[in-house]
Structure 1
Amino acid sequence: MDLERLLVDLDGVRWADVDHAYGEADDLPGMLRALAGDEERAREALDELWSSILHQGTVYSATVTAVPFLARLAAAGVRSDDLLVLLGGIADSRDEYGLPAPGACRSAVADQLPLILPLFASEDPEVRRAAVWAAGRTGATAALPALRRHWDGGREEPAVRAELLAALARIDPSVGAEAAAGVLAPGPDASEGPDAPAGPAAASRADASVEHTGPAGPTASAGRIEPAEPAGPTASAEPAGPTDSAEPAAVVRIVAVLTCLDLGLPWTSAHRDALVSLLPAGPRVADLFDPSRAEPLHYAVDALLLRDTGQDREAAHRLIEAALRLPDPEARREALWAAEHACVISRGAPLRLAPALLALLADPTFTDPAPMLPVLAALGRHAAPAAPVLTALAESAGERADRALEVLLRIAPEQAGPLLARDLDGRPRTLRAVTGLPGRRPPLPVPYAPELLNAIRIRLSGIAGQDDSLADCPAALLELLLSWGPRASAALPELAAAFERRPARIAPALAAVCPPESRERTAGLLRRAAESAEGDTAGRFAAARALRTLTGESDPLVGVLQEALTSEDADPELPRAAGELGCDGEVLIPRLREALTPQGAGRTVADLRADLETALALWRLTGEAAEPVKVLEGVIAEAADGEWTRLPLTEAVRAAALIGPAAAALAPALEALLDRPDQAPCALLALSAVGRAADRTRAAELLLTSAEHALEWSTALDALAALGPEALTHETTARLTALADGDLRVVASGPGPDLIDADERLRARAREVLTAAR
């Protein structure tokens, strides 16, 4: 092989003028040459190429430039299968960055078909399979004759044949549908072996029993989110398991079923039975290049539910029910994951699937309930009958018990507290759920339980006693004390003893649980900590703030803020506390002005947030808006175009709404945010507050767009309610009805149970707004 001849023009490319994931692409020539070197360096170069020109599925301008060299190397036998897979991934990418034109990478790979198509005849089946994948991902009709010729030949290995079918369907849906029907038709099939007769059959031969009529066009693909009524007279009989004779064609039959889904063909009982008979399907498709098809049952359920018709939803539920009835443990695992996914994307799935899932839990052959824990969490209140099983699991030790307790906390919280008390250190997952995540995941409430309070007291005693094994107290335990308030007053002695070691963390709980009869003694403890010259700033601030909460005293807090406001740490809580002091905080005005970060000084998110709170504090303490508005104007300008500055931008807009008419100068900046669904709800409220309200009909449309994207949906729906029913047109009323009553979930990101909880809150609020509007 003459490598220099293959890469003769490699050094003539201005690689520094094109970029990959890590910047200028002047390192690509070395990577390309290294592909023909020794195995270790070649493998390293291949990994570097994937990371650089197809980074997490994204393609770049350098990717376009590299494609011809990759195709030449593959055609010359240099790591042909690896490079063809890379070329197929490049053609498949829809995530483009800095390309000269949309689809430029796909076109570049299509231009290399004269080098790729001859590799269909390679002696190596892996090269043939990869070549089919690369050609199919281009979507170019120029590849169709070669694909059809090799499909009709009927002599390919099943793995190659599966890629051929997928490629045919991608390039010509009618040919793909015909081929898939032939695979699934009763009787001998070309995919079952080299001697079977070729020739596709009509799609109607798949089965006469149609479960639904699908949409006319292709459906959405699987992967919208990462993550059955009991068998009755309408459910089909349990399909037979896979047989040895069917095994060689299993991957082809699975791809045929998924192809029918992709093409929007009617879903039939034959499709269901074919797929269920091949479960567990994951291992059978492990070698497919398309990662979205790695779990065929999950893929099928997703596709059916996203069709969003009653018949398709019922078909998805029946498919899951049939899979749950299989005795194979791995098949059941796939069914459970598909059921969880159904609950995550479909509002009706938890109620519909709960009976079948609970029946499986009671099945004596289902000996390990641990795989069902995620789907029980997704079922929510519909999983309440599973509480005894969860309790039994939670009483054991280890990670599985912790997961079971977290699920129990979601569906039967009154039973979770005493179990949590038994092993605080062994339940980190449950404690994280109790703590929540500010701004993203609300904490799971735990009802007051004397046993749990006693366990927390013991933990606090360990901190006070400087027991190294209990050197810290999980935030969740302090959150529990805060939520219980004076009911947890029995923990006051332990909190007071631990306070000296952890003043910043303990102070809020100390004030929260303090009963009236202990107020004077507790106040003295907090006061001494706040005024101590030896205490750290965070501890003194927490003590002073807790003291003000408990007694209303302001002097210690003012003293701490005098020192802390101009510290290097940008803590938004400091100016926020200053602004809450009223006339007692007027002495802090010079310090607040001194604390402001100069505009254009490369402010961090923490700087921007601290400056916002400082501006609001100045407004509250002085009653003057000019200076604070100038600060807000700078924050909005600096945060509006930042990738990671959404939070300070939203807070700045909300601050403008608080200031009201005196912030009218911000109206142009606020109006510029109306086209951003993540900022429109707050911007509309702020515009109304400053006296520049938008047209009510347009405002309703913008608010619904935000809610439909689950962006600031709570603010959006509250603002929509404030607009009144007169702002709703027939179209916007229909959109609001879909938010309230549609089956597909609107919230579409986050861990499954948290996503479901958020979507249920959105749906409930949308229903309230809709009811009020009728």
Structure 2
Amino acid sequence: MSDALAGIDDIDWAELEHAYGTAEDVPGMLRDLYRSEKAADAADDLLVHVYHQGGAVCSAAPAALPYVLRAAADPAIAPAVRRELLELGGSLAYTANTADPRFVTDAWPAVWDQAVSDLLPVLHDPAPTSRIAAADALAEARHRADEVIAALRARWLVEPDQESRTQLIDGVGSLVPHADPPCEDSLDWLRQLMQGAEPATRLAAVRALRRALPGEDDSAYARTVSEVLFGSEPATWKPGGGARKATVVWAIGLLGGDGASRAEAIRRLLTHVHPLVRAGALEAAADMLSRRRSAVTELLPEVARLLSDAEPDNRLFAARVLGMCGYAARPWADTLAAMVTDEGEPYLPAQSHAVWALSRLGDARCVPPLARRLAGERLGFSYHSVHADGWGTYELSLTEVGAGLGAHADVLLPPLRARLSAAPTLDERRALCQLLESWGAAAAPAIPELIDLLDTDAAVWALDALAAIGPVAAEAVPESRLRALLDAPPEGQPFAPRCLALAYGRLTEDREPALELLLPKLGEPYGQGNPATLLGELGSAGAPYAARLRELLPVHEEGWLPLRVAEALWKITGRADEVVPVLVRAIAPFAERGGAYRAITETVKLLAEIGAPAAPAEPVLKAFLDADERSVPHGTWRSVPEDDELCAAARAALLAISDDGLHELQPPR
């Protein structure tokens, strides 16, 4: 150990930094790597402090890396710790290759060059986990690509471990773009592997070729992947054995942008005998549906077949996909309706998703089961909405399920009011208030329960709901009580004064408290959205503030601020000519590049309100509708609903701009 740590005390660690400040604690972490009872925690600490979350290579990294790699090469240290240390080195190298150069310390390149020399012998380490991690790290040695490629290929010839072999192939694919020409020899080697007999090797070669030749497609890729998926057992597709959902998703992803091949593969795998293969195909289907509108007709019928799958989680996932697709799932409404009882679907999460899917369809058969849930202990829906990437089947929120059911308030209100009166937690009270708020005037019978909450920690959400109900609620609540609430908002809720003042103004039309509180923030770089919204609510009475709004209008080219400021200015002045160009500029980039978020959809809705004077937006609105690729962020359960909402807003805007536009509109695909 003494040789491995030689010179560690000669480094002025106090002058170096990691993610949490001075690096004075790094020597202790490095020493702890040689203490068996502390080694795992020390490796974790180094990862958290020196690498953190990537994006930068701190000054402590080049000082620590030689000691990290010495420990990683020490056979006396546990294999899992050694692998984590090698992964730390690879992660730092990846960051150095991909981060803004400003955030990579100048000392890194020389230290990494020496590290590459230290890593090459680890390709021959007795532990497969170390060989795998070393190959992965060496894939970042772009400045010595030719040398490392030769080492990876040489090791491949004698490597007995299948996972290590696939990692070596990956490394070659990653480094080929950085090799000095010619690199045809390595490309030919990968193509030969793609034509081999071992399924895992063939798929790894396809992935490596895609990395080696980014942007270039080859029909041989799709042919190879299809041959593997439909000519071999799932356990052979990736090292490790066994059919795994993630492996299926990964393998389908190797088909790249070939939509037809991908759809065909998904359809066939949805009928696979193994439930985990079907699960992977379901996830791949959801992802493809989140990206392409045409995938609805290509995939949804096959997904719907899995509503009767023997595996409960597959039934759940299929119901969620159908619900995600909204009205496109109408042909399977009867099947979903049969799943909303214990007799029709014994698995509660799948049953809950069927209720949600029916609510997305506007099918009244979701109402009785939701009323039963509200009246019982087994709600089956969460009190918070989850906004996350990926395809986790977390619980849907009560608001997601019930927000569109205001027309059925007569059935849902009795159990909801009883539940609200007895709700033991703030989370539950908040969720029930938010549901009532979404129903607007239809929630009026719940006014007494909402008034009771004005003296609780749920006052903010109760007042929001009362404001949404409208005049009948304003008549029911003494103004003195509301003013007392403004003077003494709930403790521990820093947002409460702002929210209460805004809701109070909407309920009573007395906006002075909100103006007094929010107008000072109008000129600040943050917090301008709410003041602008408030001024818009004033209508023509907001004229004294029009000049200030005009100053703010060009501050940002996209996002919430131009929307809120333009909306306020239009509502105050009635002049569309000064706001429409700003709104069009804010949404136009998203018609080309996608990724439209909530503010973009709300901007399109505002253009619909403006009507005919919004005619300059027509080309952008039509571009949103004409694309097959969805214009919103991909890869989440919200992608399809958000895209449907954006398209509906665009159609409404075009219709509002011109009756002639009606003939050019296309129904949702």
Matched with 1:51 is 48
Distance 1:482 1:367, change over 3 A: closer
Determine if contact 1:258/1:296 at 8 Å carries over to the other structure.
no
Instruction: Give the counterpart letter for 1:133 in structure 2.
Output: D
Displacement of 1:581 after TM fit?
8.0
Determine if contact 1:136/1:170 at 8 Å carries over to the other structure.
yes
Aligned-partner Cα distance in 2 for 1:111–1:276: 45
Displacement of 1:672 after TM fit?
3.2
2:647 to 737, 760, 763: 763
Aligned-partner Cα distance in 2 for 1:741–1:353: 20
Determine if contact 2:57/2:92 at 8 Å carries over to the other structure.
no
Matched with 1:604 is none
Distance 1:446 1:651, change over 3 A: closer
Distance 1:11 1:681, change over 3 A: farther
Determine if contact 1:346/1:745 at 8 Å carries over to the other structure.
yes
1:135 to 131, 134, 138: 138
Aligned-partner Cα distance in 2 for 1:473–1:124: 52
Aligned-partner Cα distance in 1 for 2:418–2:107: 65
Aligned-partner Cα distance in 2 for 1:485–1:718: 19
Relative to structure 2, which stretch is displaced further, 695-704 or 140-149?
Answer: 695-704
Distance 1:45 1:693, change over 3 A: farther
Q: Secondary structure at the match of 1:284?
A: coil
Q: Does 1:178 align with 2:188?
A: yes
Distance 1:410 1:580, change over 3 A: closer
2:530 to 646, 651, 654: 651
Q: Does 1:265 align with 2:270?
A: no
1:572 to 498, 513, 538: 498
Determine if contact 1:537/1:564 at 8 Å carries over to the other structure.
no
Aligned-partner Cα distance in 2 for 1:103–1:295: 39
Q: Does 1:744 align with 2:632?
A: no
Displacement of 1:299 after TM fit?
3.5
Aligned-partner Cα distance in 2 for 1:574–1:365: 48
Displacement of 1:319 after TM fit?
1.3
Determine if contact 2:238/2:247 at 8 Å carries over to the other structure.
no
Determine if contact 1:90/1:106 at 8 Å carries over to the other structure.
no
What do the CA deviations read for 1:732-771 (whole angstroms, capped 9, x no partner)?
A: 94x654422222223226850x332111111232345567
Determine if contact 2:249/2:284 at 8 Å carries over to the other structure.
yes
Aligned-partner Cα distance in 1 for 2:367–2:22: 56
Aligned-partner Cα distance in 1 for 2:280–2:356: 22
Q: Secondary structure at the match of 1:86?
A: helix
2:21 to 20, 23, 26: 23
Instruction: Give the counterpart letter for 1:351 in structure 2.
Output: T
Please give the root-mean-square deviation of Cα atoms over the aligned residues, in Å. 4.6
Aligned-partner Cα distance in 2 for 1:60–1:133: 18
What do the CA deviations read for 1:652-702 (whole angstroms, capped 9, x no partner)?
A: 34456664563424655553333x545344455567779998797676334
Matched with 1:529 is none
Distance 1:294 1:118, change over 3 A: farther
Displacement of 1:30 after TM fit?
1.0
Matched with 1:436 is 399
Aligned-partner Cα distance in 2 for 1:73–1:135: 17
2:600 to 706, 713, 726: 713
Q: Secondary structure at the match of 2:408?
A: coil
Determine if contact 2:29/2:43 at 8 Å carries over to the other structure.
yes
Distance 1:101 1:685, change over 3 A: farther
Instruction: Give the counterpart letter for 1:747 in structure 2.
Output: V
Q: Does 1:339 align with 2:274?
A: no
What do the CA deviations read for 1:460-515 (whole angstroms, capped 9, x no partner)?
A: 7xx5xx7x9999976666666677788788x77xx85xx4xx7444x8xxxxxxxx
Q: Does 1:71 align with 2:31?
A: no
Displacement of 1:314 after TM fit?
1.3
Q: Secondary structure at the match of 2:478?
A: helix
> How do 1:393-542 and structure 2 match up within 5 A?
393-396=339-342, 398-411=348-361, 413-424=363-374, 425-429=377-381, 435-436=398-399, 443-445=403-405, 447-448=407-408, 452=412, 455-456=415-416, 459=419, 463=421, 499=449, 503-505=451-453
What do the CA deviations read for 1:9-29 (whole angstroms, capped 9, x no partner)?
A: 333434344443333332111
Matched with 1:92 is 94
Displacement of 1:31 after TM fit?
0.9
What do the CA deviations read for 1:704-749 (whole angstroms, capped 9, x no partner)?
A: 2367442410343356665957746xxx94x654422222223226
> How do 1:556-567 and structure 2 match up within 5 A?
556-558=478-480, 560-561=482-483, 564-565=486-487
Distance 1:181 1:575, change over 3 A: same
Distance 1:63 1:380, change over 3 A: farther
Consecutive unaligned residues of structure 1, counting only runs of 5 or more, are 193-248, 288-292, 508-534, 593-611, 617-627, 640-647
Distance 1:706 1:346, change over 3 A: closer
What do the CA deviations read for 1:576-607 (whole angstroms, capped 9, x no partner)?
A: 3554588x969xx6xx5xxxxxxxxxxxxxxx
Matched with 2:152 is 147
Q: Does 1:284 align with 2:238?
A: yes
Aligned-partner Cα distance in 2 for 1:452–1:553: 24
Matched with 2:249 is 298
Aligned-partner Cα distance in 2 for 1:280–1:137: 30
Distance 1:573 1:297, change over 3 A: same
Aligned-partner Cα distance in 2 for 1:97–1:294: 35
Determine if contact 2:275/2:311 at 8 Å carries over to the other structure.
no
2:516 to 610, 614, 632: 614
Displacement of 1:343 after TM fit?
1.4
Q: Does 1:326 align with 2:210?
A: no
Matched with 1:35 is 33
Determine if contact 2:340/2:351 at 8 Å carries over to the other structure.
yes
TM-score by length of 2: 0.75
Distance 1:660 1:737, change over 3 A: same
Determine if contact 1:320/1:335 at 8 Å carries over to the other structure.
yes
Determine if contact 1:35/1:41 at 8 Å carries over to the other structure.
yes
Determine if contact 1:53/1:59 at 8 Å carries over to the other structure.
no
Displacement of 1:143 after TM fit?
1.5
Matched with 1:120 is 123
Displacement of 1:132 after TM fit?
1.0
Larger radius of gyration: 1
Q: Does 1:369 align with 2:315?
A: yes
> How do 1:163-312 and structure 2 match up within 5 A?
163-173=167-177, 177-185=187-195, 189=196, 249-262=198-211, 263=213, 264-267=216-219, 268-278=222-232, 280=234, 284-285=238-239, 295-299=246-250, 301-302=252-253, 307=257, 312=258
Aligned-partner Cα distance in 1 for 2:361–2:464: 37
Instruction: Give the counterpart letter for 1:295 in structure 2.
Output: A
Instruction: Give the counterpart letter for 1:649 in structure 2.
Output: Q
Displacement of 1:136 after TM fit?
0.9
Matched with 2:390 is none
Displacement of 1:118 after TM fit?
1.6
Q: Secondary structure at the match of 1:252?
A: helix
Instruction: Give the counterpart letter for 2:51 in structure 1.
Output: L
Determine if contact 1:677/1:706 at 8 Å carries over to the other structure.
no
Displacement of 1:320 after TM fit?
0.4
Q: Secondary structure at the match of 1:745?
A: coil
TM-score by length of 1: 0.66
What do the CA deviations read for 1:62-120 (whole angstroms, capped 9, x no partner)?
A: 33443233223334545543322221222234775896448986885454111111222
Aligned-partner Cα distance in 2 for 1:471–1:43: 40
